[in-house]
Amino acid sequence: TSAQIGVTGLAVMGRNLARNFARNGYTVAVHNRTVSRTKALVEEFGQEGDFVAAETAEEFVAALERPRRLVVMVKAGEPTDAVIQEFAPLLEPGDMIIDGGNAHFADTRRRERELRERGIHFVGAGISGGEEGALHGPSIMPGGSVESHQSLGPMLEKISAKAADGAPCVTHVGPDGAGHFVKMVHNGIEYADMQLIGEAYQLLRDVAGYSPAQIADIFRTWNTGRLDSYLIEITAEVLSHVDAATGKPFVDVVVDQAEQKGTGRWTVQIALDLGVPVSGIAEAVFARSLSGHAALRAASRDLAGPKPSALSESEAAAFADRVEQALYASKIVSYTQGFHEIAAGSEEYGWDIDLGAVASIWRGGCIIRAAFLDRIRAAYDARPDLPSLLSDETFAREIADAQDDWREVQIAAVRQGVATPGFAAALAYYDGLRAPRLPAALTQGQRDFFGAHTYRRVDRDGAFHTLWGGDRDEVTA
Ligand code: NBP
């Protein structure tokens, strides 16, 4: 038998992806460094489809039809390079290696270049949706050559999630590292979404005085409206869950220190390199980092702050409505920032990424899937050169409608001493963009004063310098 696709790396993701291919009628060669995982897969799930278990790399490669399609689902970083080094010598020109791990796009660019010299297509494919997504249909963001996508695309479409309108959640994002870049920003937006939801929860708890169970109900209601999304849905599930051992709300027995694997941090690092203000995503990464500083937090517990005062029942209900507005407006801003970063990456690396198509493939399968993405797609479809999501009429109008409540929520947070870095960053971004004049003019003056860095004038072209230490005459630089 010859397999149409092979999967090496059979931990949770690889195993479920292999099963997904098999359930869709493909013959799947499976391989793992530790052979027991391969055997376990075939023993447990062999009846789901056609698997070819391979113990060695040679057997694995020999099991694949040509051109070979070899999916690598190992731990990102050195293990990926190790696997490539093991398999590349066994492959022939035209074969494809698909890296479905969470690789850094710069690594993907390097690997693609090296393998291209040997005639092998290297496809860095972002895969989102966790282990459930891998099994039932993930959102897939493949990069690499057009040629490889012609061969691979139909298979990926088959195993991918489908959006509500039936469209497969996969598109050829662009050459070399484009897919992994977009997956990175997806994860950054995911961090921001989670942080904003967390802040909404904290406000409903501390300012409105609601219990986790009541807040779960509020999130369920929100999930029937414009905030309809996977993350809001699971938030309600987590908040209504009661710890069996103590009878307390589950959220109260979990240590409040958030962990991270790095893709959110990369999103911010790359944004800094590209000069894109992703302040909401950055605050989300910093908020996780702050939460983890246990000793620092313990040492700071006695710092002064306002005394919280709970709202009356009717005030609380009105406040919850305002929080929904604040959450929605802040969410628009974090997607605006994330799409700006994708546009900037596309420009920097010549990827020609279709932003509407990216929004489209995030509508199903992935962690940030949401009704909202349909609207983002519509905005980019209507105007592919949209300078910013905030330039879209519909989003601009929604923010205009939300802004009074958004500001009120921020005022309440500040007054009551509840940290809302995500809401605050989003609002500051919005007001910064709107401002007719920014204090950046003053910054330029300071820079010119201490470092003769020069400035431009509003009324004349050219670069200028003021002789600050002397007669303060202005000279042309
Ligand atoms: P892990 O990231 O835990 O990786 C375990 C796999 O890597 C095992 O198959 C292991 O083989 C293999 N491996 C390692 Br570690 N070092 C190796 C080496 N030097 N040579 C060959 N194989 C090696 O698995 P995962 O959680 O299934 O994730 C796989 C990829 O998918 C990662 O890049 C991850 O970031 C990405 N991803 C994960 C999720 C998720 O929800 N978990 C979602 C989206 C993307 P062994 O069995 O012999 O140790």
Residue 148 has pLDDT above 70, yes or no: yes
Residue 128's contacts (CB-CB under 8 Å, 6 or more residues apart) are 138, 139, 141, 183, 186, 187, 362, 365, 366, 367, 368
Q: Is the pTM of this model over 0.90?
A: yes
Average pLDDT over residues 381-389: 93
231-260 pLDDT tens trace: 999 999 999 999 999 999 999 999 999 999
- Which ligand 1 atom sits closest to the C-alpha of 74? 7
CA of 274 to the centre of ligand 1 (A): 30
CB-ligand 1 contact for 10 (6 Å cutoff): yes
Average pLDDT over residues 96-119: 98
Residue 8's DSSP bridge partners are 31, 72
Q: How many CB atoms lie within 10 A of CB 216?
A: 20
51-103 pLDDT tens trace: 999 999 999 999 999 999 999 999 999 999 999 999 999 999 999 999 999 99
Residue 52's DSSP bridge partners are 29
Average pLDDT over residues 462-477: 97
The catalytically annotated residue of 112, 183, 199, 324 is: 183
Q: In the annotation, is 307 catalytic?
A: no
pLDDT > 70: percent of the chain: 100
pLDDT > 90: percent of the chain: 98
Q: Read off the pLDDT band of 307 (50, 70, 90).
A: confident
pLDDT of residue 218: 98
CA of 230 to the centre of ligand 1 (A): 25
Residue 203 has pLDDT above 70, yes or no: yes
CB-ligand 1 contact for 9 (6 Å cutoff): yes
pLDDT of residue 466: 98
CB-ligand 1 contact for 379 (6 Å cutoff): no
CB-ligand 1 contact for 132 (6 Å cutoff): no
Residue 309 has pLDDT above 90, yes or no: no
CB-ligand 1 contact for 76 (6 Å cutoff): yes
Candidates 178, 202, 440, 450; CA nearest to 320 is 202
Average pLDDT over residues 129-135: 95
CA dist 205 and 87 (Å) reads 53
CA of 35 to the centre of ligand 1 (A): 14
pLDDT of residue 310: 81
CA dist 370 and 187 (Å) reads 14
What is the overall mean pLDDT for the chain?
97
Average pLDDT over residues 421-442: 98
Q: Is 291 exposed, middle or buried (0-12, 13-18, 19+ CB in 10 A)?
A: middle
Candidates 11, 266, 259; CA nearest to 134 is 11
pLDDT of residue 299: 98
Residue nearest atom 19 in ligand 1 by C-alpha distance: 79
Average pLDDT over residues 262-278: 97
Q: Read off the pLDDT band of 473 (50, 70, 90).
A: very high
CA of 68 to the centre of ligand 1 (A): 21
Q: In the annotation, is 75 catalytic?
A: no
Q: Read off the pLDDT band of 1 (50, 70, 90).
A: low
Q: Are 281 and 192 in contact (CB under 8 A)?
A: yes
pLDDT of residue 308: 76
Q: How many CB atoms lie within 10 A of CB 317?
A: 13
